[in-house]
Structure 1
Amino acid sequence: MVAVHDAAKPSGLQKVKHIIAVASGKGGVGKSTTAVNLALALAAEGFETGILDADIYGPSQGMMLGVADGVRPQADENNYFKPITAQGIKAMSMSFLITESTPMVWRGPMAAGALQQLIMQTNWQELDYLIVDMPPGTGDIQLTLSQKVPVTGAVIVTTPQDIALLDCKKGIEMFRKVEIPVLGVVENMSLHQCSQCGHEEAIFGTGGGERIAREYQTQLLGQLPLQASIREQTDAGRPSVIADPESSVAQHYRAIARRLVEEVKNLEEARNFSPNLSVIED
């Protein structure tokens, strides 16, 4: 199945320069935490940034950004949603349209239809980057996004654990099948440092993200530690990049953001390159 990347953008996305899907082959690897901190890191680097929570069944970006339950997006004059501004970035999520306790008991096509509404009926205005927090796996939501939106590229989040790496490969292969470039891999929970003695231990193994990046000829954008503060700050609605901007964790996210920007730049240059042909007469 081939994605229609050159099709016109939905009207609400006309002023969005780059759309980046943050995905994982399986749940529990810290994809949503990585997505929100990456969005905040891009904003900290000076880019106008938004985040779309495409996890219809388990939307979490509202809580991660500290948006109170019950806050609803307003409509503009064209009856489009206006994204909610939180922590300096624009955000849209199914969590803004339901209560925290509402379960999404929907079949796949219904969830895909809900995603289309979020995509097609949100007016993002001018953004340099729109980060899309994808649900885990390789199902209807992923296909809907690739068919309806000209995605610039994807970032795959994994842990060094072998089972996570196996699913990571499936995620990369899926994006390749729909012709979305994989810009790089983020290895989460790569190293744990004891808060008492400072001893470091690779709980989930070592080198997995680097091996995957090498095997699929993409970049290892960064490695993130297994650290309680990341979870605590995100649960409190102030992710690490905002809560403690001078911390080593925040600096890790900002370094990943800078590498992502560089990969997007390289991708654009490759797409715009056209060799000059000269004809020499004998």
Structure 2
Amino acid sequence: MTIQKEKAQEGTHIKKIIAIMSGKGGVGKSSITSLMAISLQNKGYKVGIMDADITGPSIPKIFGINNERAFSNGQAILPVETSSGIEVMSLNLLVKEEDDPVVWRGPMISGTAKRFFTDVEWGELDFLLIDMPPGTGDVPLTIMQSLPVDGVVVVSSPQDLVKLIVKKSVNMAKMMDIAIYGIVENMSYFICPNCNEKHYIFGKGKVQEVAEEMGVDVIDYLPIDHEFVSLCDEGKVELYGKIEFGRCEEFAKKIEEKVGGNKL
């Protein structure tokens, strides 16, 4: 049975919609979504982030816009723009206080995630990145079935559970007939500031082995970076693109190679 895809607001034109997902929490999925956004924005693309993790939204905090609020123009909800021009929609931009709990049942959560696409005036975007909640439950299923997602990027970490985690995400995307752009292994290693050597704190990951087995590509192996983590915590993640321009540029090139990129 073919499910009709939802349409965006009139006047919204999005070239590519990418879902960033993981089979479990705690792998830094929102951080990688943010890094993708600032890296692509630095390359001249117009980027938006849809924070679909309704019960645990973190994107506004990472970008330092958690005290901002999204408003309606009478016809649609207007996303909040970050300092570098990235458009963001998140439940934290709609609730009275950012620490208010979201005590909702599944259908309401899924419906809200869908409305972040249908009821928001995104305008002209090269990329809309969807920061998915962890796992393969109601919200990821609703988004993959109902929204015109072009492909997914799977985020993992080097721990032993990686094989099961990645397989769940990849198999779900295949079931939904959605392209898999590849896997990003986060927290892959740590570079010692004193000796400049790589240290595999969690052990050498098995992502390459799993990727070959599943027939997908590895996009990148990203290190544990104290500067990046600190800037995320401080709501200043966009400064990372200026501090580590080379790394962001390299990451953006790898994303471009996998997903394609045509500036508006």
Q: Fold match, TM over 0.5?
A: yes
Q: Return closer, same or farther for 1:39/1:215 CA change in 2, 3 Å cut-off.
A: same
After TM superposition, the structure 1 = structure 2 runs for residues 115-264 of structure 1, keeping only pairs within 5 Å, are 115-239=113-237, 242-247=239-244, 250-264=245-259
Deviation at 1:104, TM superposition (A): 1.0
Matched, 1:91 2:88: yes
Number of equivalenced pairs: 260
Determine if contact 1:12/1:124 at 8 Å carries over to the other structure.
Answer: no
Distance 1:147 1:37, change over 3 A: same
Per mean C-alpha deviation after superposition, the further-off stretch among 12-21 and 142-151 is: 12-21
DSSP-derived class of the 1:245 partner? helix
Instruction: State the TM-score, normalized to the length of structure 1.
Output: 0.85
Name which of structure 1's ranges 110-119 and 40-49 shifts more when overlaid on structure 2. 110-119
CA distance in 1, matches of 2:258, 2:215: 13
CA contact (8 A) 2:22 2:155 kept: yes
Match of 1:32 in 2: 30
TM-score by length of 2: 0.91
**CA separation of 1:212/1:253 partners in 2, compared to 1, >3 Å: closer, same or farther?**
farther
Moved more, 158-167 or 126-135: 158-167
Q: CA RMSD in A?
A: 2.1
Task: Say whether the 8 Å CA contact 1:23–1:31 is kept in structure 2.
Answer: yes
Shift of 1:172: 0.8
Secondary structure, in 3 states, of the residue corresponding to 1:27?
Answer: coil
1:74 aligns to 2:71 (yes or no): yes
Q: CA deviation at 1:8?
A: 6.0
Distance 2:10 2:17 in 1: 13
1:53 is matched with which residue?
A: 51
Larger Rg belongs to:
1
Q: Distance in 1 between matches of 2:69 and 2:94?
A: 6
Matches within 5 A, 1:94-109: 94-98=91-95, 99-109=97-107
> Any gaps of 5 or more consecutive residues in structure 1?
269-282
Q: Quick check: 2:92–2:98 contact (8 Å CA) kept in 1?
A: yes
Contact 2:219 2:258 in 1 (8 A): no
Q: Percent identity?
A: 36
